[in-house]
Structure 1
Amino acid sequence: MILLLSAALASVAVGSLLAWSSWHLGLGGALFPASRDNSSGANFMGIIGVVALLITVGLLAFRSPSDLQLTPSGVTRHVRRHRGFKVTDVNNFAAWTDITAITPETQVVSSGPSDIHNQLIRVTFRGADASQTDATVEQDFLIQAHLLVAEPNTLYSLMKHMQEHPEDRNLLAREDAAGLLTPPPLRDRFRAAREAKKAEKAKRRSNA
């Protein structure tokens, strides 16, 4: 997503700066409509080009692309953080047998009149304590599911299923394992939502 946005901004920057430079080289008649003062339009295009170029550089210099792997042994997350000329690799691994919770979360980002809801998945697991030998502590890492190719709800359902059903984890090693991330038909999702709602109502009545 960031690379596509950067490519789009870069093309805007190149086009705008090309128009600005062409005008100052005396070639602006072919790029700008007839006007009493095309210099203001050329300068405006130059400003747009510079701004787009700066945003593109900022996006490429400060980004954190990540990838996720689900294997029969566990969940692996790799993040490559770009901070200017410094690149840091962060690797997280949680074995299925060590995972204690897989929890969906939502990150709300305010954007003018409306809010953007980014879907996240938190993986909590028992990991080795670096300060003590042969000791484990609760650890976790956050998966930015909204930035991945897979549909977030389908990814969460698959991870939850593999946590609770060890007998199915070998399916992740098959060549067609990517098909496990195919979202179910809309009709099935509506049916599942209705059944979940009925189960919730029944639970409330039993607790009343």
Structure 2
Amino acid sequence: MANEVLSEIRRKISDEKYYPYWPQSIRYPFIFVFLCFVALSILALRALVRDGLHENHTVVISTVLILVAVAGGSAALWSAGFRYFGLSKRIAATRSTKYGSGVVIPANRAVDAMIALLVLVGVYGLTSAYLHYTSASMSLLPFGRDTSSGANYMAVLGSLACALAILFLAFRSNTDYRLYSDGMERNVRAGRLSVMKGRKSFIRWESIDLVLTQRSIGYSGVETRNNQMKITTTSDIIHSRMMKRESLTEITVQVSLLPVEPNALTSLIRYMKDHPEYRYMLGEPNARELLRPLPLRERFRRARQAKSSTGPGCRPTDQSERSTDV
């Protein structure tokens, strides 16, 4: 019975009324950029196979080019519109002693990945410099840097990378959102050196008055992909600890920083705001399925419809909606 109700809610949520707030269209220039990175990786791999066994500098250069091609190709494919292929495994069920069962949407791991990369670079640079200073080995130094000045350069690079990693680790901030049958909770944990300070904000579904979706546009007119959702309420938001410039009746959700398809999250919040009879489904074990995005082809189709309905060159950047019945 619960699965049937969940499927019915997903069908209603995916109605044209709720999609798309941020159209996900194909951007062909980035597809061309992706193909260029693919060609670069093929050339680098070919050079690595052909000369890598005989030339150490070829191994280093080819490996760096392959890593750059993989990172650049992934970013180009994302920018081209091929993203959110399914429901993230990081979105999971959670339970609160105060609000019961629900769904947690954690923040993405971009900062954690950057910290890990800086640590790897720092360890490599300091290790290679140490082995050179102790005359143990110079094999870890890059080609052209197997000298005393090269070791000094690697020591400085490693120290700088470790310092940046410590800085990011000391001042990192994590934000997750939890959806319960009673409302939505934002949990912020901000680091200040060795102290992690947390603050929670809770919004009841019945107090939500307005949900505004918007997309930031760069000065040159280029989309910066900073998708935001602003929620205003008719009553004060419950804050565990007020911060400066924090409103009692408005909260901003940085949707682009979450591992969830933006339209799916916004549609679910608006639907739960309008339909109290289905809020209990957020406490079901498979409630995370309510955040599963539409198939990629369907999202492209709706993006084309949204673009044609607004006319050539006109794309909506702001949408708002008050409580309505479906």
Scaled by the length of structure 2, the TM-score of the pair is: 0.53
> Deviation at 1:33?
6.8
Q: Which residue of 2 aligns with 1:141?
A: 251
Question: Where in structure 2 are the equivalents of 1:102-121 lying within 5 Å?
Answer: 102-107=211-216, 116-121=224-229
Shift of 1:101: 1.4
What letter corresponds to residue 156 of structure 1 in structure 2? T
Instruction: Quote the residue 1:170 is aligned against.
Output: 280
Q: Give the drift of 1:7.
A: 1.0
For 1:118, the aligned partner's letter is N
Q: CA-to-partner distance for each residue in 1:116-146, whole Å, 9 max, x for gaps?
A: 322222221133499xxxxxx9611122222
Deviates more, 1:73-82 or 1:153-162: 153-162
Correspondence 1:124 to 2:232: yes
Contact 2:138-2:146 within 8 A present in 1 as well: no
RMSD between aligned residues: 2.8
1:88 equivalent in alignment to 2:197? yes
Runs of at least 5 residues in structure 1 that lack an aligned partner in the other structure: 131-136, 202-208
Moved over 4 A (4+): 33-37, 107-110, 194-201
Determine helix, strand or coil for the equivalent of 1:29.
coil
Aligned match of 1:70:
179
How many residue pairs get aligned? The number is: 192
Q: Pick closer, same or farther for the CA change 1:193–1:37 going to 2, 3 Å.
A: closer
Distance in structure 2 (CA, Å) of the matches to 1:48 and 1:169: 53
The structure-2 alpha-carbon separation of the partners of 1:82 and 1:151, relative to structure 1 and needing over 3 Å to count, comes to same
- CA change 1:45–1:61 in 2 (3 A) is same
Q: Which residue of 2 aligns with 1:155?
A: 265
For the 8 Å contact 1:72–1:170, the answer to whether it is kept is: yes
CA contact (8 A) 2:211 2:230 kept: yes
The 2-side partners of 1:109 and 1:53 are apart by 33
Structure 2 contact 210–232 (Cα < 8 Å) conserved:
yes
Alignment gaps of 5+ in structure 2:
1-108, 239-246, 312-326
C-alpha separation between the residues in 1 aligned to 2:137 and 2:254?
46
Match of 1:54 among 163, 174, 198: 163
Tell me which residue corresponds to 1:24. Answer: 133
In the aligned structure 2, how far is the partner of 1:33 from the partner of 1:25? 17
Counterpart of 1:3?
112
The separation in 1 between residues aligned to 2:140 and 2:202, in whole angstroms, is 55
Q: Which amino acid aligns with 1:45?
A: M
Do the aligned residues in 2 keep the contact of 1:154 with 1:183 (CA within 8 Å)? yes
- Distance (whole Å) between structure 2 residues aligned to residue 32 and residue 8 of structure 1: 18
Which residue pairs with 2:299 in the alignment? 189
Residues 124 and 138 of structure 1 are in contact (CA less than 8 Å); yes or no, is this contact kept in structure 2? Answer: no
Deviation at residue 161 of structure 1 after TM alignment: 1.6
- Alignment check: 8 A CA contact 2:201 2:237 kept: no
Take 1:80 and 1:64, find their aligned partners in 2: how far apart are those partners? 6
Q: Which amino acid aligns with 2:153?
A: F
2:229 corresponds to which letter in structure 1? I
- Alignment partners' CA distance in 2, 1:36 and 1:161: 60
SS at match of 1:116: strand
CA distance in 1, matches of 2:140, 2:310: 64
Q: Which has the higher strand share?
A: 1
